[in-house]
């Protein structure tokens, strides 16, 4: 590849021998031809010492014409080091170059050919061949092979690089090009003024990045990198050179063209990493002429020089010298930065060419400038007049603390003894009985500390920490107060940037300075080692969330705080977005008090157990001071607090399936959440989470209210602490329930749990006016025929009080009395409904029982049978009768018998006053007991009408002896303390001896008042039947889920017998709820 120098490029001429590490010198073997095509036999052969040949307008020999000749020059060179080499030169006219018989350059035509090409050569021997053409006019050829990584120069006796080269120079491979001619010249043949030069070198860049051409030039110059113009001050005065360019890793060709017109002449140039300091020093106070000493420094932003009464180098004067320090800094984040340091005697500091600090006498500088993200050029122009000389410089984040220390208590003196950049937005200095630095005494020292804060809006800020001995806080130069010990100073900070400085003073003993500055939107906690908020504390800053939550389990907030018997004051400034009501919620283990703007919201600090709080208070729009005082005594320790704009519902979402862990709080006007496969909040898992919704709702009037909605998965509804609906099983649940509520406020709590898969919850409540009836079916696995067969085969067959028209007993079981109208049974036997041993068995007939005979017939077995009056109250029921009462289709909707399908596990929502005035009036012991039945219904989730109907049936409208009290002194045949007991439902009153069985059962249960008997009996019914799923009269009688097992009665009409009273009672009322469940056999 051939590269031209430039339009004005001249010939390179090497007058010195080649370097030993470049190529072994040898002569050229020349062959000259009397034609332009190198053809035929050479007319001249000879050895040329080098190719610096200039024939003017003549020729090499009289045997050759002055125009139209050609030549070939050959030589063998030995290269000692594998490297890049550069073949440089010029020919008039054409030139062609071969290396190891390979054509590498071809400009073999009539012209002026510039030769400047890089050739990579391996160590060893190489053949070089150069073909030359002279077409006409002047004739010359110059060609030299040099190391590419060394500076090489050629000089011209004019300032425009034209004409023949008069001087060449091999300068060496240093990066620094340092040519100072003063008022002289480069050498023989070159004048002191109006000369020019050409300098070239290949740089091998080890690391890609920004690099800087830096130095001093007098007069003009051009710089080319890889053929691209970088600097062009050819027609002007360059003076200070400081240009940054990006360079990739690898080799780059640098070419410098220099121009001297008149006066002093120098070319000082270096290529350095842009992020490293480069320093130039001058033996004058004007930074003029050439530098006397240069140095490349570190890449750190900090620059530190203290020359005392000396200078940077022996070549630099001790007094009256100047320096230029250049560096490119990299800014990762756009923000304000602080230019800090000190100087003796003077310094001007420039950033991106703009003067930012100018000290004309010795002193400190502390200037804040805004720097955008990216690179910035920093230049320091330093001046030393006399005496001590030093310069210290650094660029730091303006938002971190910068400290200067003084060996006195007055925060004065120059220079300071020691300075440091903390790199932190907090001050955390604890020197004990020592000091910040060996230059600072352990006692009687002081410090000035600086940082900037940027308030996005006007607000209060908290300055807190501890100090020994004292500190004065300044903002924008204004004294904001003196602090000592543990402090918590609140300062109003206007919107914008503010300079904060601390004047710290220490006398003797332990020394420390700790400070934090935080907006009051963060929770600030002080933790004490006791339960009364006194003494030294541990301060901690928590997040800005409105909610405050800490769960220390059986630990404590800090190792310095005990696990038990500690307290805390936790403060924050809350900004209410608008005027209105707000929920103040909390949960603590153990106690807490909350005050807002000095007013107590709630106080349960005396408690020693977990308690959840939810209070609604009005707040005006704007800021409010919130204080939470917490007390931990023993065991687990946790505190949870939040403020939310009030709405109908307050929700707590827990990240566990046990209503534990840190909850997420939300308020809402209604519950209609559908999270799909997600969750209420990113901090809540998608599965196995729980939620608790809370609201106090005002019911406009007494009556029944329907709650309904959808839960996926589990739900539990509590009203005033009582569970009114629960389905705590996994799966989708579309629920609807009617509950009675009185006029006024009622507290609702809805507990929800998500198992896996989809998650959703909705809740609605509506007033139900008048009478509401709801119907549903329940399927069973047995057919009606199968269930009937089981019932008929039971050990006690279904019974009825309706006897067959005729009953018979075989005569061999009876001995007639005198007259034959009566007889006495001789053995136990069975009664049939016909004179047939296979006839329907009506019931048993006991031995020694006198019967009245009404007739005699011959049976189908030929034996004599007596027709008689069967006086037993309950007899076996015919199968057809049993089937009738078992078949749900035998009964018509809205008839009294249909009430056997009424769901008994739900209260009817009755009004007690209406019950007492319309139902429980003139009912003996039951009169006025509406409240007892209501309590029983609510406590055990059972229908009030059923309980009253059952009690009236069993007690004969409150008149039976068992209902009105039986004095019991024997139980199970053993004497007991005599006690009057009551039984309202006939529980335990077996047919054979109902009074004894019922009273002894009541005694065992402790039913010694009518109220206990009503409520306790309801528990028996609920526990033994309703709670087992037998929650209708039909299911209690027939148990279709498991026929023949656990049935309340044997009477086939028992279920419908209960309904008459229930039906009549419902007809007396104006508002109630009925839910029906009708069995459906397979």
| Same domain, residue pair 1040 and 914 | yes
Please, which residues have CB within 8 angstroms of residue 843's CB and are 6 or more apart in sequence? 830, 831, 870, 872, 874, 875, 876
Which secondary structure element, helix H or strand E, spans residue 39, and what is its range?
none
| Same domain, residue pair 265 and 153 | yes
CB 400 within 8 A of CB 423: yes
Say how far apart CA 421 and CA 404 lie, in whole Å.
9
268-287 residues labelled b (16+ CB within 10 A) or e (exposed): bbbbbbbbbbbbbbbbebeb
- Domain-ending residue, one of 217, 249, 272: 272
Please, which residues have CB within 8 angstroms of residue 889's CB and are 6 or more apart in sequence? none
CB 45 within 8 A of CB 73: no
| Same domain, residue pair 259 and 359 | no
Which secondary structure element, helix H or strand E, spans residue 485, and what is its range?
strand 478-493
Three-class DSSP category at 263: coil
Q: How many other CB atoms are there within 10 angstroms of residue 658's CB atom?
A: 9
CB 800 within 8 A of CB 1053: yes
Mean pLDDT, 10 residues at a time, the chain of 1082 residues: 31 34 68 96 94 90 94 93 85 92 93 81 94 92 87 90 80 87 93 93 94 93 94 87 94 94 93 94 91 91 94 95 95 95 94 95 93 95 94 94 94 85 91 94 95 93 93 96 93 95 96 92 93 92 86 94 96 93 90 95 87 90 94 93 88 94 88 94 96 91 87 96 93 89 90 96 87 91 97 93 96 94 96 97 96 96 96 96 97 94 88 88 94 88 88 91 95 95 91 89 95 92 84 95 93 91 88 91 96
Asked, for residue 45, whether it belongs to a domain, the answer is yes
Domain of residue 359: give its range.
275-393
Which secondary structure element, helix H or strand E, spans residue 980, and what is its range?
strand 974-981
C-alpha dist (Å) from residue 747 to 588, 650, 739, 741, 940 = 21, 12, 14, 11, 20
Sheet holding 649-654, edge to edge: 664-668, 649-654, 689-699, 744-754, 714-719, 722-727
Asked, for residue 797, whether it belongs to a domain, the answer is no
Domain count, the chain: 8
Three-class DSSP category at 964: helix
Asked, for residue 751, whether it belongs to a domain, the answer is yes
| Same domain, residue pair 1021 and 888 | yes
Q: Give the single-character DSSP code of 902.
A: B
Asked, for residue 778, whether it belongs to a domain, the answer is no
46-55 — which CB contacts under 8 Å span 24+ positions? 48/73, 50/14, 50/144, 51/89, 51/130, 51/141, 51/142, 51/143, 51/144, 52/13, 52/14, 52/15, 52/142, 53/140, 53/141, 53/142, 54/139, 54/140, 54/142, 54/164, 55/139, 55/140
CA atoms within 13 A on the CB side of 763: 24
Asked, for residue 23, whether it belongs to a domain, the answer is no
Give the torsion sign (CA, 516, 521, 522, 523): positive
Asked, for residue 10, whether it belongs to a domain, the answer is no
The CA angle 248-224-214, to the nearest 5 degrees, is 80
| Same domain, residue pair 388 and 414 | no
Three-class DSSP category at 274: coil
| Same domain, residue pair 1059 and 942 | yes
* pLDDT on residue 22: 41
* DSSP letter for each residue of 43-61: SEEEEESSEEEEEETS-SS
Asked, for residue 453, whether it belongs to a domain, the answer is yes
Asked, for residue 784, whether it belongs to a domain, the answer is no
- 848 φψ region: left (φ > 0), alpha (ψ -120 to 50), beta (else): left
| Same domain, residue pair 166 and 228 | yes
| Same domain, residue pair 139 and 168 | no
CATH code at position 590: 2.60.120.260
Q: How many other CB atoms are there within 10 angstroms of residue 818's CB atom?
A: 6
Kindly tell me the burial class for residue 769, based on how many C-beta atoms sit within 10 Å of its own C-beta (0-12, 13-18, 19 or more): exposed
Q: How many other CB atoms are there within 10 angstroms of residue 819's CB atom?
A: 6
Say how far apart CA 415 and CA 362 lie, in whole Å.
9
Q: Using N-to-C axis directions, what is the helix angle for 944-955 and 930-940, rounded to 10°?
A: 120
Say how far apart CA 662 and CA 685 lie, in whole Å.
12
* pLDDT on residue 25: 57
The CA angle 787-790-791, to the nearest 5 degrees, is 90
Say how far apart CA 330 and CA 477 lie, in whole Å.
31
* DSSP letter for each residue of 709-770: EEEESEEEEEETTEEEEEE-SSSEEEEEEEEEE-SEEEEEEEEEEE-SS-EEEEEEEEEE-S
| Same domain, residue pair 185 and 139 | no
Nearest CA among 899, 931, 938 for reference residue 915? 931
Please tell me the pTM assigned to this model: 0.53
927-941 residues labelled b (16+ CB within 10 A) or e (exposed): eebbebbbbbbbebb
* DSSP letter for each residue of 595-648: EETTEEEEE-TT--S-EEEEEEEEE-SEEEEEEEEEEE-SS-EEEEEEEEE--S
| Same domain, residue pair 208 and 249 | yes
| Same domain, residue pair 964 and 1069 | yes
843-856 residues labelled b (16+ CB within 10 A) or e (exposed): bebeeeeebebeee
| Same domain, residue pair 462 and 551 | no
Radius of gyration of the chain from its Cα atoms, rounded to whole angstroms = 56
- Domain-ending residue, one of 146, 173, 191: 146
* pLDDT on residue 6: 31
* pLDDT on residue 4: 33
Secondary structure, 3-state, 546-601: CCEEEEEECCCCCCCCCCCCEEEEEEEEEEECCCEEEEEEEEEECEEEEEECCEEE
- Domain-ending residue, one of 462, 492, 519: 519
Say how far apart CA 152 and CA 85 lie, in whole Å.
12
Please, which residues have CB within 8 angstroms of residue 335's CB and are 6 or more apart in sequence? 370, 371, 397, 398, 399
- Give bridge partners of residue 717 from the DSSP assignment: 725, 750
C-alpha dist (Å) from residue 523 to 239, 549, 613 = 59, 10, 20
Sheet holding 580-589, edge to edge: 548-553, 637-645, 580-589, 611-619
* pLDDT on residue 772: 82
* Size (the chain), residues: 1082
Say how far apart CA 845 and CA 841 lie, in whole Å.
11
CB 325 within 8 A of CB 301: no
Q: Give the single-character DSSP code of 792.
A: H
């Amino acid at each position: 590849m051939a590269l031209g120098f430039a339009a004005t490029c001249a010939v390179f001429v090497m007058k010195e021998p080649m370097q030993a590490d470049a190529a072994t010198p040898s002569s050229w073997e020349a062959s000259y031809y009397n034609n332009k095509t190198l053809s035929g036999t050479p007319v001249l052969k000879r050895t040329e010492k080098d190719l610096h040949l200039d024939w003017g307008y003549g020729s090499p020999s009289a045997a050759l014409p002055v125009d139209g000749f050609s030549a070939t020059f050959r030589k063998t060179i030995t290269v000692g080091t594998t490297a890049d080499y550069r073949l440089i030169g010029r020919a008039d006219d054409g030139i062609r170059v071969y290396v190891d018989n390979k054509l590498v350059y071809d400009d073999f035509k009539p012209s002026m050919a510039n030769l400047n090409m890089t050739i990579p050569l391996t160590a060893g021997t190489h053949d070089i061949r150069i073909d030359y053409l002279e077409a006409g006019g002047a004739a010359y050829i110059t060609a030299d092979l040099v190391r590419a990584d060394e500076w090489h120069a050629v000089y011209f006796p004019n300032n425009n690089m034209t004409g023949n080269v008069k001087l060449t120079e091999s300068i060496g491979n240093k990066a620094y090009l340092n040519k100072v001619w003063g008022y002289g010249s480069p050498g023989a043949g070159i004048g002191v003024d109006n000369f020019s030069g050409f300098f070239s070198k290949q740089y091998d860049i080890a690391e890609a990045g920004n690099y800087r051409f830096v130095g001093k030039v007098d007069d003009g110059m051009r710089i080319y990198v890889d053929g691209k113009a970088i600097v062009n001050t050819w027609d002007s005065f360059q003076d200070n050179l400081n240009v940054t360019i990006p360079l990739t890793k690898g080799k780059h060709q640098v070419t410098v063209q220099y121009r001297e017109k008149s006066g002093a002449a120098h070319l000082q140039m270096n290529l350095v990493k842009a992020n490293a300091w480069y320093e130039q020093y001058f033996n004058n106070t004007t930074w003029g002429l050439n530098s006397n000493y240069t140095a490349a420094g570190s890449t750190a932003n900090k620059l530190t020089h203290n020359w005392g009464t000396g200078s940077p180098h022996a070549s630099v004067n001790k007094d009256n010298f100047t320096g230029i320090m250049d560096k490119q800094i990299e800014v990762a984040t756009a923000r304000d930065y602080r230019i800090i340091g000190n100087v003796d005697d003077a310094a001007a500091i420039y950033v991106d060419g703009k003067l930012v600090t100018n000290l004309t006498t010795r002193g400190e500088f502390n200037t804040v400038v805004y720097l955008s993200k990216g690179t910035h050029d920093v230049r320091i122009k330093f001046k030393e007049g006399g005496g001590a000389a030093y310069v210290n410089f650094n660029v730091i984040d303006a938002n971190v603390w910068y400290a200067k220390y003084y060996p006195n208590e007055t925060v004065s003196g120059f220079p300071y003894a020691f300075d440091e950049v903390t790199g932190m937005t907090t001050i955390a200095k604890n020197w004990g009985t020592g000091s910040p630095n060996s230059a600072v005494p352990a006692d009687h020292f002081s410090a000035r500390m600086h940082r900037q804060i940027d308030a996005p809006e006007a607000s209060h800020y908290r300055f807190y920490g501890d100090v020994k001995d004292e500190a004065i806080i300044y903002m924008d130069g204004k004294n904001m107060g003196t602090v000592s010990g543990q402090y918590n100073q609140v300062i109003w900070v206007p919107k914008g940037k503010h300079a904060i400085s601390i004047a710290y003073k220490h006398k003797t003993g332990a020394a420390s300075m700790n400070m934090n500055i935080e907006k009051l939107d963060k929770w600030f906690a002080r933790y004490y080692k006791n339960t009364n908020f006194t003494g030294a504390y541990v301060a901690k800053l928590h997040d800005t969330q409105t909610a405050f939550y800490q769960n220390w389990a059986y630990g404590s907030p800090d190792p310095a705080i005990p696990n038990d018997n500690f307290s805390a004051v936790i403060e924050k400034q809350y900004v209410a977005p608008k005027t209105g009501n707000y929920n103040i919620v909390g949960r603590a283990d153990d106690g807490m008090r909350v005050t807002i703007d000095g007013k107590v919201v709630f106080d349960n600090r005396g408690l020693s157990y977990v308690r959840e709080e939810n209070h609604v208070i009005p707040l005006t729009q704007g800021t409010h001071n919130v204080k939470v005082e917490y007390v931990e005594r023993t065991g687990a320790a946790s505190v949870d607090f939040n403020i939310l704009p009030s709405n109908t519902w307050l929700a707590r979402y827990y990240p566990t399936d046990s209503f534990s862990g840190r909850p997420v709080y939300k308020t809402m006007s209604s519950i209609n959440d559908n999270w799909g496969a997600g969750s209420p909040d990113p901090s809540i898992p998608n599965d196995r989470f729980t939620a608790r919704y809370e609201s106090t709702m005002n019911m406009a009037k007494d009556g029944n209210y329907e709650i309904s909605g959808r839960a996926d998965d589990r739900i539990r509804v509590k009203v005033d602490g009582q569970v009114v609906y629960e389905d705590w099983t996994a799966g989708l649940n579309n629920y609807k329930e009617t509950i009675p509520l009185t006029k006024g406020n009622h507290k609702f709590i809805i507990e929800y749990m998500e198992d896996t898969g989809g998650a959703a919850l909705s809740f609605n409540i509506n007033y139900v006016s008048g009478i509401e009836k709801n119907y549903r079916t329940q399927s069973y696995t047995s057919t009606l025929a199968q269930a009937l067969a089981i019932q008929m085969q039971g050990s006690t067959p279904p019974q009825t009080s309706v006897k067959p028209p005729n009953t018979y007993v075989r005569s061999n079981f009876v001995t007639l009395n005198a007259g034959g109208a009566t007889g006495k049974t001789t053995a136990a036997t069975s009664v049939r409904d016909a004179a047939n041993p296979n006839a329907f068995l009506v019931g048993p007939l006991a031995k020694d029982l006198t019967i009245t005979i009404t007739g005699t017939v011959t049976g189908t077995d030929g034996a004599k049978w007596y027709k008689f009056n069967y006086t037993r109250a309950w007899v076996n029921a015919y199968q057809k009768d049993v089937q009738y009462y078992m078949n749900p289709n035998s009964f018509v909707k809205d008839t009294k018998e249909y009430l056997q399908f009424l769901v008994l596990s739900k209260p009817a929502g009755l009004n007690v006053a209406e019950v007492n005035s319309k139902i429980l009036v003139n009912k003996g012991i039951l009169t006025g007991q509406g409240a007892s039945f209501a309590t029983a219904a609510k406590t055990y989730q059972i229908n009030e009408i059923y309980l009253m109907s059952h009690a009236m049936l069993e007690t004969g409208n409150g008149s039976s002896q068992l209902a009105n009290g039986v004095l019991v002194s024997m139980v199970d045949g053993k004497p007991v303390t005599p006690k009057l007991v009551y039984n309202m439902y006939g529980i335990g009153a077996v047919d054979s001896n109902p009074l004894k069985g019922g009273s002894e059962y009541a005694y065992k249960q402790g039913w010694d008042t009518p109220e206990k008997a009503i409520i306790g009996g309801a528990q028996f019914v609920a526990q033994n039947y309703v709670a087992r799923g037998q929650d209708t009269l039909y299911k209690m009688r027939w148990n279709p889920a498991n026929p023949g097992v656990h049935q309340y009665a044997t009477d086939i009409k028992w279920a419908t017998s209960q309904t008459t009273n229930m039906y009549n009672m419902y007809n007396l009322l104006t508002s109630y709820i009925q839910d029906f469940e009708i069995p459906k056999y397979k």
